[in-house]
Amino acid sequence: MSGVRVLVGTKKGAFILTSDGKRAKWDIQGPLFGLWEMFHLKGSPADPNRIYASQTSGWFGQIIARSDDGGKNWHQPGTAPGEPTTTPQGWPKGESNKFVYDTSTETGKPLTTHQWYDGTQHPWEFKRVWHIEPSLNDPDTVYAGVEDAALFRSTDGAKTWQELPGLRGHGSGPKWQPGAGGMGLHTILLDPSNPQRMFTAISAAGAFRTDDGGNTWKPINKGLKAEYTPDPHPEVGY
């Protein structure tokens, strides 16, 4: 009988729950990352022992953690072994915690602002990682959906991150606007039948799809209604 594992993120840490197929009794590991707000934990389909976690704090900022043994031990992959994981002031360090928006004209489009609550343009500012999505076939490749909304990818086990700028540079980016909980890319779906196809969802912009591995994107919100806006059928804004 196959086993079941549930990864749980809370506002005060994370837990790993395991059971057999009957799910009558559960073993609970945790709390992990005590008193940290956990936005997402996700295991790699290519290696069940590889787990990625996004922990965030309004005071200490954003940290990406990784386990290679099913959650028994954790480390910050962008920090060298034996090196302190924080600065003398207590801030996270390491390349795994650096998410820098791509504004170069060579690899993306120099998009620097989006719509704010009052309709004015506002600078893009990184806040936290909402969603982590490991590759279906490579444990070292992982995607991150962040706030302010953007899509990042790592190909070295979350040691370093690079933005896939085609999403923000789709053309509708300046119209994206935060919802009540912020402007986060909260969902990433990988198509198991087509490695080049991916879906994302952003609050409050809508859903987008790529068929070329993240280079170009198109909104897929046709049929949705925004009845209390000037345009009841906008391309983005959901």
Residue 106 within a domain:
yes
pLDDT digits 0-9 by tens, 121-144: 999 999 999 999 999 999 999 999
Predicted confidence band of residue 86 (pLDDT cuts 50, 70, 90): confident
- Backbone φ/ψ region at 93: left (φ over 0), alpha (ψ -120 to 50), beta: beta
Q: How many residues does the chain have?
A: 238
For the chain, what is the mean pLDDT?
91
In this model, does residue 104 exceed pLDDT 90? no
pLDDT, mean of residues 62-71: 96
Are 173 and 207 in contact by the 8 Å Cβ rule? The answer is no
According to DSSP, the β-strands at 206-210 and 218-219 are antiparallel
Residue 1 has pLDDT above 60, yes or no: no
- Residue 235 is assigned to a structural domain of this protein: no
Is residue 233 domain-resident? no
- Tens of pLDDT along 207-225? 999 999 999 999 998 877 6
184-190 and 13-19 beta bridge pairing? unpaired
Question: What CATH number did the domain enclosing 200 receive?
Answer: 2.130.10.10
227, part of any domain: no
pTM reported for the whole predicted model: 0.93
* pLDDT: which is higher, 4 or 85: 4
Per-residue pLDDT, averaged over 178-197, amounts to 96
Q: Is 229 among the domain residues? A: no
Q: How many domains, in total, are found in the chain? A: 1
Asked whether residue 185 is domain-assigned, the answer is: yes
Q: Provide the b/e sequence for 131-162 (b: ≥16 CB within 10 Å).
A: bbbbbeeebbbbbbbbbbbbbbbbeebbbebe
Which domain covers residue 158, as residue numbers? 4-81+93-219
pLDDT at position 58: 84
Residue 21 lies in a domain: yes
Residue 94: helix, strand or coil by DSSP?
A: coil
In a domain, 200, yes or no: yes
Find where tokens 């290679």 sit: 68
